[in-house]
């Protein structure tokens, strides 16, 4: 079998239980019991709390986990995409990263999701916009 980067065939879980390549399990859900929205994306997990947004990165990510209080968030850039979409936090005083004509931004404030993640990403976007400073 070919070892693809988005597959998770290790002992932590059954790849059939993955959502967009990120394993889902009770331990992860329990860790976010106070969260308003939890979205498991291709390159990590987006967690929206009442006072902050947390991005927990997948092990293969070149970025570290990030916590951003709502006082620093001015908005959200959301693109549903045809195959892959993204959600990017807009920070106060920080220029928005833009992807190219056929690419999306890749930075510490952006997460990507497949078609099955669009509804969750929209709920996260709405929750963030309700609480953001901007």
Quote the CA–CA distance of 52 and 56 in Å, as a whole number.
13
DSSP state of 31: H
DSSP state of 25: -
* 100 CB-near residues (< 8 Å, 6+ apart): none
pLDDT tens digits, 28-46: 556 788 999 999 999 999 9
Query: Is residue 41 situated within a structural domain?
Result: yes
Helices and strands in the chain: count of H runs, count of E runs: 2, 9
Local confidence band at 79 (pLDDT 50, 70, 90 cut-offs):
very high
What is the total residue count of the chain? 134
Query: Is residue 25 situated within a structural domain?
Result: no
* Mean pLDDT across 85-108: 79
Query: Is residue 55 situated within a structural domain?
Result: yes
Lowest-pLDDT choice from 22-26, 54-58, 81-85, 104-108: 22-26
Indicate the number of domains in the chain: 1
* Mean pLDDT across 6-15: 44
Local confidence band at 102 (pLDDT 50, 70, 90 cut-offs):
low
Query: Is residue 79 situated within a structural domain?
Result: yes
Query: Is residue 16 situated within a structural domain?
Result: no
Quote the CA–CA distance of 5 and 77 in Å, as a whole number.
26
Indicate the average pLDDT of the chain: 80
pLDDT of residue 77: 93
Task: Count CB atoms within 10 A of the CB of residue 128.
Answer: 23
Query: Is residue 57 situated within a structural domain?
Result: yes
The pTM of this model reads: 0.74
Query: Is residue 61 situated within a structural domain?
Result: yes
Query: Is residue 28 situated within a structural domain?
Result: no
Q: Output the six-digit token pair for 87.
A: 């959600």
Quote the CA–CA distance of 105 and 74 in Å, as a whole number.
18
CATH number of the structural domain spanning residue 59: 2.30.29.30
Domain range enclosing 117: 34-131
Dihedral over Cα of 72, 118, 36, 28: its sign = negative
């Amino acid at each position: 079998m070919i070892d693809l980067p988005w597959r998770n065939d290790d002992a932590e879980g059954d790849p059939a239980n993955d959502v967009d390549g990120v394993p889902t399990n009770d331990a992860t859900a329990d860790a976010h019991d106070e969260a308003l929205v939890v979205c498991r994306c291709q390159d990590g997990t987006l967690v929206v709390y009442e006072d902050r947004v947390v991005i927990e990165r997948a092990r293969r990510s070149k970025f570290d986990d990030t916590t951003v209080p709502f006082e620093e968030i001015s908005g959200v850039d959301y693109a549903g995409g045809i195959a892959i979409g993204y959600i990017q936090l807009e920070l106060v005083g920080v220029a928005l990263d833009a992807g190219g004509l056929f690419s999306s931004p890749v930075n510490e404030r952006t997460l990507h999701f497949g078609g099955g993640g669009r509804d969750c990403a929209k709920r996260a976007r709405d929750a963030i916009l309700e609480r953001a400073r901007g």
